[in-house]
Amino acid sequence: MNFRYLVKAVLGIVSLATVSAELSAQVIDPNTQSNGSQVNSIRTGVPFLLITPDARSGSMGDAGVAVQPDVNAMSINPSKIAFLDKPYGFALSYSPWLKSLVPDINLAYLSGFYKLDDQNTIGGSLRYFSLGEILFVDINQNDQGIYNPSELALDFTYARRFGDSFSLGTALRYIYSNVTAGQSTTGQEANAGNALAVDISGYYKQPTQFLGTKAILSAGVNISNIGTKISYLDASQNKSFLPTNLKIGGASTFIIDDYNQFTFALDFNKLLVPTQPIYDLDGKIVAGKNPDRSVPSGIFGSFSDAPGGFKEELKEINIAAGMEYWYNQQFAFRAGYFYENPNKGDRRYFTVGAGLKYNVFNIDFAYLLANTQKSPLANTLRFTLLFNFGEAK
């Protein structure tokens, strides 16, 4: 078995293990954190919802909740589409995901918007995540066949502008996750998971002067994936939380002259789901809180349930920083950095990218720089095509 099929076999085991965990959530592996290890990543269902699909934000270290909007704004802050200046448009993004490991996992994202009037804008998007061909195996390593698991999210977005500086937006999301291809686990047939979720977001911008230079200061916030838990078994009582995420940040755009423009952005992210507690050898919680609770309790309790207290809560905050340079509103160059604490996932990487704007057409490109020995995300590419139509307002 070559490396490619070895990776796919592992992904197959993970897919079935996700479902099996629903029936065995109360059975604790004696080796799981029993030694008091501080490595404690947060677990959720459908984590593909946390992937930034568009190349512009992807090339700025995944920052963008407060940068000037484009067609893909609804993927990171739905409220921003209220400030789009064209009447309508659409965009298509594509990324070969985990390209350093396997060649056929990919994420595709299609989005579009339409301005009802100067204050109200609607939009829609489809996010499709394909895991490619995966060799499924059972717990005894018996071959269960090759399948094509996939997941998708379908969104409807509405945003309203209040004056020239502030907007609010929301998105209603349907989530479909078929990661098991109908395989059986622990005597039960696994089904595709379904869930509903909403995003709540806001955006504020203010033109100003800084050191004699025209500038636009902006701030944004988005709480995404607030919704039902997801399950792959009809009789399951231990469903998985959606990756509810709080993203808050700011950006500053400096208009140097008619040809040169710089933007600097900084975002902070925190998952609003329970942190896994620490168990003893008997499966009893010795630090932290029981993760089996309601969605509202999980969201509000996510600020105080880490086993390590407030110090560990701070470690759960990810940081994304990026910059963007436009020349003559035609050529863009971008760079960024994403940081996640080593005890909470250890995603740390630089990003670079470029963009070209011509008439109604934009193309963006992003490339992720990381150590190929340490990060499966190394060499990730993202591409986006954008089209804006009508007269700008």
**CA 333, CA 323: separation in Å to the nearest integer?**
8
* Pairing verdict, β 166-178 and 134-137: unpaired
Domain count for the chain, please give it: 1
For the chain, give the percent of residues with pLDDT over 70.
82
> What Rg, from alpha-carbon coordinates, does the chain have?
22
**CA 335, CA 87: separation in Å to the nearest integer?**
30
The pLDDT of residue 183: 63
The pLDDT of residue 187: 58
**CA 63, CA 248: separation in Å to the nearest integer?**
10
* Pairing verdict, β 184-185 and 143-147: unpaired
pLDDT tens for 210-248 read 878 899 999 999 999 999 998 887 656 668 899 999 999
CATH number of the domain encompassing residue 312: 2.40.160.40
The pLDDT of residue 131: 84
Structural domain span for residue 236: 3-389
In the beta sheet, which residues pair with residue 388? Answer: 89
For residues 93 and 109, the answer to whether their CB atoms sit within 8 Å is yes
pTM of the model: 0.84
Residue 11 tokens, joined: 């992904």
**CA 386, CA 331: separation in Å to the nearest integer?**
14
The pLDDT of residue 6: 41
C-alpha 306: how far from chain center: 22
What average pLDDT does the chain have? Answer: 83
Who contacts 213 (Cβ-Cβ below 8 Å, separation ≥6)? Answer: 254, 255, 256
Give just the sign of the alpha carbon dihedral 366, 110, 295, 228. Answer: negative
Taking 70 as the pLDDT cut, the residues of the chain under it are 1-40, 137-140, 144, 181-189, 234-238, 372-373, 390, 392-393
Does an H or E element contain 124, and which? strand 120-130
The pLDDT of residue 139: 67
Buried b (16+ CB within 10 A) or exposed e, 10-28: ebbbebbebbbbbbeeeeb
The pLDDT of residue 107: 94
Instruction: Say which amino acid occupies 101.
Output: L
C-alpha 371: how far from chain center: 21
**CA 359, CA 387: separation in Å to the nearest integer?**
9
**CA 128, CA 165: separation in Å to the nearest integer?**
33
The pLDDT of residue 186: 55
